Amino acid sequence: MTSTVGSPPYYENHGFQPESVCSARQPGGANPYPPNFSSNAPSVPSYVPKVAAHQSSRPVAQSSRRTCSSTVKKIIIIIVSILVVICCAIAAFLIWYFAVDNRCLSSLIECGSSGVCIPSSQWCDGVSDCPNGEDETRCVRLSGSNFVLEVYSPVSSSWYPVCQDDWNDDYGKTACEDMGYSVDTYYYSQGVATEVSFQSYMKLNTSAGNIDLYKKLYSSDSCASGNVVSLRCIECGLSTKSVSIMSRIVGGSAATLGQWPWQVSLHVQDTHVCGGSIITQQWIVTAAHCVEGKQFSDPSNWRVFAGILNQNEMIFRNGYKVQQIISHSDYDTDSKDNDVALMKLETPLSFTDAVQPVCLPNSGMMFQSAQQCWISGWGAEYQGGKTSDNLNYAMVSLIETSVCNSVYIYDGLVLPTMVCAGYLQGGIDSCQGDSGGPLVTYENSVWWLVGDTSWGSGCATPNRPGVYGNMTAFTDWIYKNMQANR
C-alpha cells in the first residue's frame, strides 16, 4: 500500500508481485524463479563403470557370449520398466477419471453426468449447449443492492423477478444452493417493494405438488402482493468499525482488527505473495495473475491466513490449506484481461468479528465515477520497497474508464473487465504485494467487492492510477464455478 509519491517508477508494475517472489523485470541471465523455489529438475547421475583391469582366463568367445547375454537382460529390464511405468500412469489416470465427480478442467463446467464440459459463459445464455439442456435450467441470480432474486426463463430467454406470493425459506435455500452457497450460511428471504415497475414475474404454482422448485415457477403478468423476493444467501459486508470514522481517512493507514474482516493473506512457502477476499466460508477471490505458473497453480503450495493483521504472527500459525484453484479460462497474461481466480479451502473458515465475507456485487449494480472506495493489503509502502509487515488501507476514488484510457494515462489498456481507482495526482495507490486484494465500497449499509487488485505502472505515480479486476463482470462466473465445485 503506497501513500507517498516517490521517484519515477522503477518498473512497469504489472501484477504488483512482491519482489521476493516474482520480480517485475529480471536482469539478463537472472534466474526467472523466486529464490525460495527450485527451477532445476533432479539431474541424472553421470558415472563411468569401474572395470577390474586384469586378463580373463576364459576364451574370448565365451566372454563375448556373456557380454551379449548381459546386454539382452539389460534391454529386457528397461523394456519391462517402461511398460510398468506406462501401466501405472494409465491406472492412475483411470482412477482419477472415475474417482473425481467433476471431470472437467477447472475452467470448464460439466453438463450433469454426460461428461460434456462447457465454459461458464455458456450457462444461462439462452442457448442449450449441454446434451440435456442442463446449462439452461436452474438459472438464478441476485439483482441490485436489495438482493432481488431473479430466475431465467428459457422459454422467453429473459430474467424475471420472483413474486413473493407463497414463497418460503425452503425455496430460498434451494436457490442459494444453485448459486453455489451452503445452506449453512443461509440468511433470509423476504418480500421487498419493487423499485421499478416490472411487466412480468416468475410465480409459484402452489397446486403443482411436491416437485422441483423450477418446475413450479411460471411466468405471470401480475403479483398479488406487489412484492418480490429479496434473497440473502449469506450475511456479508459487515465491519465492526464505524464508516464515519473511516470516511475521514484519506491516506494510507494501519488497519485495526475487524476493520477489513474479508481480507486474507495468501502465502507460498511462508512468504506473503498476494491478497484475497473472503466471499463464503470456503471460497476466496483473488487475481488470476497470482496463480500463474506451475508453482503457483498448485493448490498444495498455498496457505491462507484470515483475521490476522501482522505478517510476523502468521509465521506461528498453520493457515488454511487450499483444495482447489480455479483461474478464469479467458485470463490473458499480457493484457491482464479477466484477471480473477477462486481458491477453495480444504476446511471452512470460522466466522468471527475479525473474519467475515464481503458481498459480491449483484447483477445490474453500477458503481459511479468518483465513488469512494477502499483498498487494503500488505503491499509495499513505497516504490521498490518490501512488503509491509502490517495490514494497511487507504481511500481511493473510482476513475471513469474513458479518462484512464486517454493517451496521457493508459492509452486504451483498460478493458471492460477492469476498473480504475486512485488519484491522477498520485500519492495513494496499491503496490507490489497487494495483488488480488480487495477494492471495496460501502452502499446500502453493506460493503461490496468492487474489484481485485490487478496491475498498474509504478506505485502512486501521477497519471498512473491502480487498475483492478471489475467484479461486476465476474459475479456470474464466480457463482457458476462455486455451484459446479460444491
Whichever domain contains 360, its CATH number is 2.40.10.10
Of the residues 135, 165, 178, 339, only one is catalytic, namely: 339
Q: What is the mean pLDDT of residues 370-375?
A: 94
Chain-centre distance for alpha carbon 131? 29
pLDDT over threshold 50, residue 342:
yes
Q: 346 falls in which pLDDT band (50, 70, 90)?
A: very high
Q: Would residue 37 count as lying in a domain?
A: no
Find the CATH number of the domain harbouring 194.
Answer: 3.10.250.10
According to the model, what pLDDT value does residue 251 have?
47
What is the count of structural domains for the chain?
2
Domain that includes residue 172, residue range: 139-177+188-232
172 lies in the same domain as 259 = no
304 lies in the same domain as 451 = yes
Three cell numbers, residue 390: 502490517
Neighbour tally for 27: CB within 10 Å: 6
Query: Using alpha carbons only, what angle is made at residue 248 by residues 242 and 250, rounded to the nearest 5 degrees?
Result: 125
In whole angstroms, give the CA distance from residue 19 to residue 36: 12
According to the model, what pLDDT value does residue 107 have?
56
Sequence-distant (6+) residues with CB within 8 A of 16 are 379, 430, 431, 432, 433, 434, 435, 453, 455, 456, 459
Q: Would residue 319 count as lying in a domain?
A: yes
218 lies in the same domain as 247 = no
Q: Would residue 39 count as lying in a domain?
A: no
459 lies in the same domain as 384 = yes
Cell 468518483 -> residue: 370
Of the residues 14, 267, 272, 289, only one is catalytic, namely: 289
Active-site residue, 339 included: yes
Q: Would residue 278 count as lying in a domain?
A: yes
Active-site residue, 54 included: no
Q: Would residue 56 count as lying in a domain?
A: no
Over residues 184-233, the pLDDT tens digits come to: 999 999 999 876 677 889 999 888 777 788 888 988 998 999 899 999 99
417 lies in the same domain as 336 = yes
Active-site residue, 435 included: yes
Q: 54 falls in which pLDDT band (50, 70, 90)?
A: very low
Of the residues 106, 239, 430, 435, only one is catalytic, namely: 435
429 lies in the same domain as 289 = yes
455 lies in the same domain as 314 = yes
